[in-house]
């Protein structure tokens, strides 16, 4: 079996992105380099043949997804459920966690100016954030970070895909670095 077909079979059957290491387990003679070559081959092939789907790089791995231009077609089908969108408070909280991780609830609430326990819980339930440790200071507050599912939800390859803070229109001046200490306080 050609390596590209093996990789294709596994990617086709998987509902989540698979990393090079995970894909390499599919065949005895596969290693990560061979997987990458196989993925490149598949991509070129799908591209050449104008397939409705492609191999996309998501969350540190690859995933077969339909191409965006077919969205209007798929949206017509009730049997193809749409990915549920996040609310504004959820996105705001997630943005803070993404940029400031590991971050405590106190810091998130200080930045947003509102209680955020409920939103954090929802994000945890949806496996978009997780507890990644405990901070210093009173009560050793829980610190949150983003998950692999977070990357999947937004189609990011890694957290590097987030726009860098200095690329955002509102650039933070000094004190940016002090944030960490705020978060470590009380919980």
Partner 1 sequence: MLQALPAAPQEQPDLYQVDLERFQGPLDLLLHLIRNQDVDIFDIPIARITQQFLAAIERVDRLELERAGEFLEMAAILVRIKAQMLFPRRTEDGEEEDPRAELVRRLLEYEHFREAAGHLEAAERERARRWTRGWVEVRPAPPLADAPLETGWDEVWDAVLRLAARDAEPPPGYRFGGRPVRMDEKMELVLAALQESRRVEFAALVSPWGTRMHAVVSLLACLELAKRSQVRVRQAAPFAPLWVYRRRAEEG
**Could you say whether residue 132 binds partner 1 (CB under 8 A)?**
no
Among 10, 39, 98, 103, binds partner 1 (CB under 8 A): 98
Among 5, 25, 67, 121, binds partner 1 (CB under 8 A): 67
Q: What is the dihedral of CA 115, 143, 121, 93, to 10 degrees?
A: 60
Among 28, 48, 49, 170, binds partner 1 (CB under 8 A): 170
Task: Count the neighbouring beta carbons within 10 Å of the beta carbon of residue 5.
Answer: 13
Strand extents, DSSP E, 59-104: 61-66, 103-104
Q: In the bound complex, what is the minimum distance in angstroms from residue 24's beta carbon to partner 1?
A: 21
Q: In the bound complex, what is the minimum distance in angstroms from residue 135's beta carbon to partner 1?
A: 19
Strand extents, DSSP E, the chain: 53-58, 61-66, 103-104, 129-134, 142-146
Strand extents, DSSP E, 44-95: 53-58, 61-66
Site for partner 1, rule CB under 8 A: 12, 15, 56, 63-68, 71, 74, 80-86, 88-89, 91-92, 94-96, 98-99, 111-115, 125-127, 153-156, 161-163, 165, 168-173, 175
């Amino acid at each position: 079996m050609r390596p590209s077909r093996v990789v294709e079979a596994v990617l086709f059957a998987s509902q989540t992105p698979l990393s090079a290491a995970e894909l390499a387990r599919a065949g005895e003679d596969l290693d990560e380099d061979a997987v990458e070559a196989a993925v490149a081959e598949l991509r070129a092939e799908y591209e050449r043949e104008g397939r409705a789907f492609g191999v996309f790089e998501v969350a540190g791995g690859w995933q077969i997804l339909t191409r965006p231009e077919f969205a209007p077609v798929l949206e017509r089908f009730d049997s193809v459920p749409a990915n549920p969108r996040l609310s504004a408070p959820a996105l705001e909280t997630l943005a803070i966690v993404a940029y400031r991780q590991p971050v405590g609830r106190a810091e998130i609430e200080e930045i947003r100016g509102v209680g955020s326990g409920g939103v954090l819980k929802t994000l945890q339930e949806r496996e978009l954030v997780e507890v990644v440790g405990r901070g210093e200071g009173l009560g050793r507050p829980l610190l949150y970070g983003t998950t692999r599912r977070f990357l999947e939800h937004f189609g990011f390859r890694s957290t590097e895909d987030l726009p860098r803070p200095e690329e955002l229109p509102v650039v933070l001046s000094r004190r940016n670095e002090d944030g960490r200490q705020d978060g470590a306080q009380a919980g």
